Amino acid sequence: MDVAVADEKAAAAYVELYWLDLLSFRAVRGSGPVYRGLVLQDADALLLVRLDGSLARESVDLKILDRSALHVGQIVVSASDVGGQIGVVTGVTTVLDLADLNDSGKATKVIRGVSPSRVRRVRALSLGDYVVSGAWLGRVVEVSLDADVMFDDGAVCRVSDVESTDLRPENPEAFYRPQMNTVFYPRRRVVTGDSAAIFEEARWLKGHWKPDREVGTVVNVEMAGVYVYWIASAQHGTNEQLVLELAPPVYQSPDSLTFFCSAPDCSWGLGDRVFLTDASVSLPDNHHPDDQQQPTTMAVYRTRTTVDVLWQDGTRQHGARSTSLAPSSYMNEHGFFPGQYVVDNACTDDIIDGTTGAGDDNMVATHSGSTARRVGVVRSPNSKDQTLDVSWLHPDNWEVQCDDTVSVYDLGTDPDHSVFYGDVVVRLLSDITGGTPLAHDKSAPDDLSWVGHVVDLHDGHVQVKWGDCSTSTVLPHEISIANKEDYTQLLAKMGDWAEEGAVDATEELCAANTENQQDNPADARTVEGGMIEEGSDGSMNELDGPATTTQNVEVTEHVVTIASHEDPNVGSTLTEGGFALVTRSNASDGEDDSAEDLVVIKATYATRDDDPSKFPRFDIVPSPPADHIYLDTKEQGSKYGKKWVTMVQKEWKILENSLPDTIYVQAFEDRMDLLRTVMVGARGTPYHNGLFFFDMQLPPSYPAEPPQVYYHSFGLRLNPNLYECGRVCLSLLNTFGGEGTEVWSPRMSSLLQIVVSLQALVLNDQPYYNEAGYEQLVDTSEGHRNALPYSEKAFLLTLRTALHLLRQPPKGFEKFVKDHFCRCGRYVLETCQAYLHGCVATDHGSTELLCSTGFRIALANLVPRLMTMFKEIGAEDCNPSFLTTGAEDCDQS
């Protein structure tokens, strides 16, 4: 279904700037000439760079002219409704205006409406480009350039690998994008302070070296060599090990490479230096300056970009101006689109624990007799309800077995078939040629029929446009996705090849967690946790994320207190099972129904002992358990020295005297370097009444360095700071950047501070904003769109974590886990009941719970398993009839 182009007037009022936005601006408000500038980023600052590369110091009357950085596969929102539904870019068309610049950087001639296919960059290959050589596909990670420099007397020399020398432009302050551009291009004046070091050893094409030759003009630029990171082959696909063993040399001649496509971030922008040609973009011929001069160097003067968008509701928009859209950098993990492949995650817990039954509806049997998670294709997402219409596929023939409406929280992206718009993909040539091997003739053009990019996803099939310009429809298992990493990461990997045997510490932790890990973390997502100074009013600051919180934490040397923030409209009695709830109160008609407040459910059974099993908050036992993640560390506490032992004993004393009621720590006599911690999720958060286990190890240098901390995740990512592989990302642990009191201080920091920070700052009431950089979304429409789904998912994963803990309790805490859920099981189920019925009774009337339909579907799938597990351990009042009580009253209120 097609829709009209978005309202441009509404978009014009949208002023937030993004990387590579093209702007018009004035240096003085209301008067003076109008300039163009390109938004670049330097560290945390946005820079506005003019056509000539100079930095705009003053800029007013800003107007967005173009967003050329939009690319196929990018997630976008409407610029006039950033909190609305998301879309994915499916097509991009860019037209260029080119300018001939004089020596002062002013445009003297402008050619308008030029297709990018009629130009090529001065450096024909950009970093990250996909290139083909015979039967191999690779990524460009570095380019060596030779430059011919002409002096005023007509002498010419060739400087090899010019970008690695001290030769520099006469105007070195100019900004440019090195991924796509070079500072050396024809007509550029260059200078050096050491003529002998550069020019004496150069190859002289005309004349010879003289000491006084220090300033010249670039007349020709050639690619001398290209460093390629090979990622796939026509015979072996993307098999990383085979590619590594059999790939061609890293260093390649440009003549041996055929350009396939650019990386998504290689977009056109103001000031890019290009040559105007009559043919499509291709690798350049090498020209001797005496034989034929290169074409005139021109600069991109303006870009005009239109895009096609597939919106999440299935509508398609064609030819939308790029300024009517905004990139969405804060997409949640359940933003599915029609045509995407998904897997059923509802049975994940059983897969991990090995308890999947033969009759499990969420599992399918393959032709080999093995079982696997169901794979389906998205038909129609409902982002507001957090539900999807899915067609489940037969594992052997990929035909539709049945259609279903499911919760997004019960689904995940299919890791084996996660193709998406714009992905570069490959297929084996044997599938095309019927088994005939590829015989590559170096004199013939490369065969590109096995390399393509995804142009559409439709009805369980993938439409691919291949490098030979043909288009075909394939099944996802018939293709492989090529490496999509940034070229800087690939370049770093190439360096790692020389360091055989090097193992990253994080990977070791991931390997140790194979029993309960599903996926590796995609990236480092963190909160800047740290010490909250004495006298804090409890509001969160730059150390700990969002301004809204349900906890006040005060840390002194020996005392930690945690106070609950209660909603006065709900009453003073709080349930022991109430997770964070976004609600709408019906108590007063005069109140704003749209106001969202964090409250907790008032329960019939609202008081209980916070220490259910009388388990000591701090305890010392003889030896660590066999499942402690750091048990096999080589250096043990007994070897650390008397001073170290004294320091640890002091920490023990602080923990013994000051631990909050809901944090428990166990230390070990014969391994003083190890600890095990469990904490109960705080009230008013999605983690309430959940249990969260951490293993700690104190290094020999402690307290000069912080301890290592590992989270028992069971493969679940329920918080941005807690990874599936067990990594805990917190500035206080020096696992994320920070400054001042945010980071570990040998003099001021303590183990008590760490455990309190984990409970109060990490496991907080709005964990979505823990994501690095997401604090800026607090109280924004984009933040509201994603924060509630994240909290709903955190709630569900807390329940799934409880199931794992009951099946596989960490050693030494078996009785604690059982006793905790024996006493709390009813309160947890009471919270689930309130969510399933959509409202809860309070002292001032009923309160509507603002949770999604998809959340309730996923919760309904979990509750029977929780009830069964709670009944097995003898939990109080966990019978089926309990979950139906009170529903009629809520519905009538």
pLDDT digits (tens, 9 = 90+) for 141-162: 999 999 999 999 999 999 999 9
For residue 482, give the nearest of 503, 513, 451 by alpha carbon: 451
SS3 helix, strand, coil % of the chain, rounded to 5?
20, 30, 45
Nearest to 178 by CA among 57, 330, 10, 40: 40
Distance CA 822, CA 874 (A): 6
pLDDT score recorded for residue 317? 95
Per-residue pLDDT tens for 585-628? 333 444 443 333 333 333 332 233 444 457 899 999 999 999 99
Q: How far is CA 163 from CA 147, 221, 222, 226, in A?
A: 9, 11, 12, 13
Residue with tokens 């390109």: 38
Taking the C-alpha atoms of residue 783 and residue 460, their distance in angstroms, rounded to an integer, is 32
Neighbours of 477 (CB within 10 A): 10
Q: Is 721:729 a contact under the CB 8 Å cutoff?
A: yes
Strand partners, 472: 464
Give every residue of the chain whose pLDDT is below 70, as ranges.
Answer: 1-15, 43-44, 173, 278-294, 330-332, 347-371, 430-445, 496-613, 634-639, 839-848, 879-893
| Residues 730 and 762: beta-carbon distance below 8 Å | yes
Structure tokens at 547: 């301004």
Tell me the two tokens of residue 668: 């070990």
Catalytic residue set: 729
Q: What is the pLDDT of residue 347?
A: 61
Q: How far apart are CA 336 and CA 413, in angstroms?
A: 8
Task: Identify the helix (H) or strand (E) that includes residue 3.
Answer: strand 2-3
Position 382 scores a pLDDT of 84
Type of residue numbered 269 = G
Whole-angstrom CA distances from 416 to 241, 333, 348, 385, 475 are 18, 17, 16, 27, 12
Element (H, E) at 647: helix 642-658
pLDDT above 70: percentage of residues in the chain: 74
Contacts of 130 (CB under 8 A, 6+ apart): 137, 138, 139, 259, 260, 261, 262, 263, 424, 451, 482
Tell the burial category of 326 from Cβ atoms under 10 Å away from its Cβ (0-12, 13-18, 19+).
Answer: buried
Strand pairing category for 130-133 and 316-321: unpaired
pLDDT of amino acid 84: 84
* Residue written as token pair 């969002």: 546
Q: What is the predicted pLDDT for the residue at 256?
A: 94
- Helix and strand element counts for the chain (H, E): 13, 45
Per the DSSP assignment, residues forming a β-bridge with 76 are 87, 327
Task: List helix spans (H) across 216-261.
Answer: 240-246
Residue 442 corresponds to which tokens in the numbers above? 């170096």
